[in-house]
Amino acid sequence: MAINRAYVYIEVDAKGVRRTVRQALTAAAVIAPGAEIIAVVASAKGDADAAAASMLKVAKVVQADAAVASSQAAAKAIAQIVKAQGPGVVVFGNTSLGREVAPCLAQELGLPLVPDVTSAQVVGDHVEFVRPIYAGKAMAKVKPLAETFVVTTRANAFLDNNESGAAPVEKATVALTADDQKAKVVSLVQRDTTKIELTEADAIVSGGMGLGKAEGFKQVEALADALRAAVGASRAAVNAGWVDHTQQVGQTGKTVSPTLYVALGISGAIQHQAGMSSSKCIVAVNKDPEAPIFQVADYGIVADLYSVVPLLTEEIKKVK
């Protein structure tokens, strides 16, 4: 069996089609090799989003012709488009919106959902996915039990290798009732990107006593800026009065589990570890090679902070 069509649900931010969605496009090609890839736009600001999507290298962009104000309405709209265009897999980026629309769509179409996959492989007549469970402490290999299905892909699991293109935009008539849009957004406050909540942050840079002085936190903040990360601190740094206690990570502070945790000058006493050891990737910079932080870190640099951090900040700026 070959899958003829792969739909990718488009989300757009200020910089164009979101990176996770572009990565989902890569996934779509892996899941359905040779299939026609269709970008689906079902959003509140349809035209603008469709214009952004048309710059992708896809077969076409299909845009719902109605304004879509809720996840469930988006699912209804996509379902109607899929029914009209012909069966295929539907791929979402595992974003906050994607993981809300995807299961609604799966239910709407009566399809399996394979959420948050990190890899996909066609094996004979089916596709096998790997997805992390138990917060990454185990990986499950799963296969959907239907010819077509809905998938969401984990951020950064697939490379964004989409070249730019000029896809035609096709409008599709969708019929949405008031019942489909019961949940109404009454206000949206743009996120303050300058201050990221520790517990919500995807990346965190924390500083400890190894910084030696309060001014050392400027280095921490600079690296955090480059990584678009939140700034955390060890208890000792908080007690020294260098930063506010709301930034304390640890047993008696905040418990965090970001994708990336960078510990600068933090020895890693258990009280600190209790608050951050479940982070996905931990980087430690400390001049003491015996510091316990290196036992929980994935990558470590044993060096003076002030010789490493400015370089790291510059290097990160280059890749981000």
Partner 1 sequence: MADLKILVLVKQTFTTEARIQLDAQGKIVDKGIKYVISPYDEYAVEKAIQMQEAGGGIVRILTVGSDKTLETMRIALAMGAAEAVRVWDPCLETADSQITAQVIAAAMKKVPFDLVLAGKAAVDDQSYEVPARVAGLLGLPLVNAITSLSVSGTTAKVERETDAGKETIEVPLPAVLTAEKGLAEPRYPTLPNIMKAKKKPVQVYGLGDIGLSAAALKPAVQVLGLSTPAPRKGAAIIGGSPQEAVKELVRRLKEEAKVL
Partner 2 sequence: MTPGEFPANMVFLVCFVVAIALFLRTLQKLYLYVRLGQDEKRFDNMPERIKGVLLFVLGQKRVIQETAGVGHFFIFWCFIFLSIGYMESFAQGAVGMENFSYEKIMGFVLGESLSASLYGLFLLVQEILSVVVVAALLISLHRRYIVKPLRLKIDDPHARMDATIIICLILSLLVMLFFMHGLEIAGGRSKHLSAWMPVGNIIAGMFASHKNPEGLYSIVWWLHTGVLLGFMVYIPHSKHMHLLGAVPNIFFRWLGKKGYLPPVNLEDESAEKFGVSEMQEFTWKDILDTYACTECGRCQVNCPAFLTGKPLSPFRMIHRMKLHILERGDVLVQKKAGKEIPEDHPALKSALIGDVIEKEAIEDCTTCRACMEVCPELIEHLPKIVGMRRYQVLTAGEISSEAGLAFRNMENASNPWGIDASSRGDWVSEAGVEVPLISEKPDAEYLYYVGCAGAFDPRYKKVSGAVARALTEGGVSFAILGPEEGCCGDSARRLGNEYLYSALAQQNIETLKNYNVKKVIVSCPHGYNTFKCDYPQLGGEFEVYHHSEILKDLIAKGKLKPQKADVGGKVVYHDSCYLGRYHEIYDAPRDVVKAASNGELVEMERTGPRSFCCGAGGGRMWLEENRGDKKIYMERSDQALKTGAKTIVTACPFCMTMFEDGVKEHKRQEDVKVLDIAELVSPAKKKDTGAE
Residues 172-231 touching partner 1, rule: CB under 8 A, are 179, 182-191, 199-200, 203
Residues 41-70 that bind partner 1 (CB under 8 A): 70
Q: CB under 8 A: which stretch of 53-61, 83-91, 147-155, 261-269 binds partner 2?
A: 261-269
**Element (H or E) spanning 37, and its range?**
strand 36-41
Residues 276-295 that bind partner 2 (CB under 8 A): 290, 292, 295
**Element (H or E) spanning 150, and its range?**
strand 150-153
Please work out the total of residues on this chain that contact partner 2, with binding judged by CB under 8 A.
20
Q: What are phi and psi of 316, to 5 degrees?
A: -65, -40
SS (H, E, C) 213-251: CHHHHHHHHHHHHHHCCEEEECHHHHHCCCCCHHHEECC
Sign of CA dihedral 197, 198, 203, 206: positive
Residues 6+ apart with CB under 8 A from 153: 20, 23, 24, 27, 91, 92, 93, 94, 116, 117, 118
Partner in contact with 236, chosen from partner 2, partner 1, none, beta carbon below 5 to 8 Å by kind: partner 2
Tell me which residue of 231, 192, 215, 221 sits closest to 313, measured CA to CA: 221
Partner in contact with 290, chosen from partner 2, partner 1, none, beta carbon below 5 to 8 Å by kind: partner 2
Which of residues 120, 204, 209, 233 is near partner 2 by CB under 8 A?
209
Q: Is 1 in the site for partner 1 (CB under 8 A)?
A: no
Residues 101-160 that bind partner 1 (CB under 8 A): 102-104, 106-108, 111-116, 128, 132-146, 149, 156-157
C-alpha gyration radius of the chain: 22
- 162 or 267, CB closer to partner 2? 267
Q: Is 246 in the site for partner 2 (CB under 8 A)?
A: no
Q: Is 311 in the site for partner 1 (CB under 8 A)?
A: yes
Q: Is 271 in the site for partner 2 (CB under 8 A)?
A: yes
As a whole number of angstroms, the distance between CA 248 and CA 221 comes to 15
Q: Is 301 in the site for partner 1 (CB under 8 A)?
A: yes
Tell me which residue of 42, 78, 40, 84 sits closest to 59, measured CA to CA: 40
Q: Is 236 in the site for partner 2 (CB under 8 A)?
A: yes
Tell me which residues touch partner 2 (CB under 8 A): 209, 235-236, 239-240, 245, 251-253, 255, 267-271, 273-274, 290, 292, 295
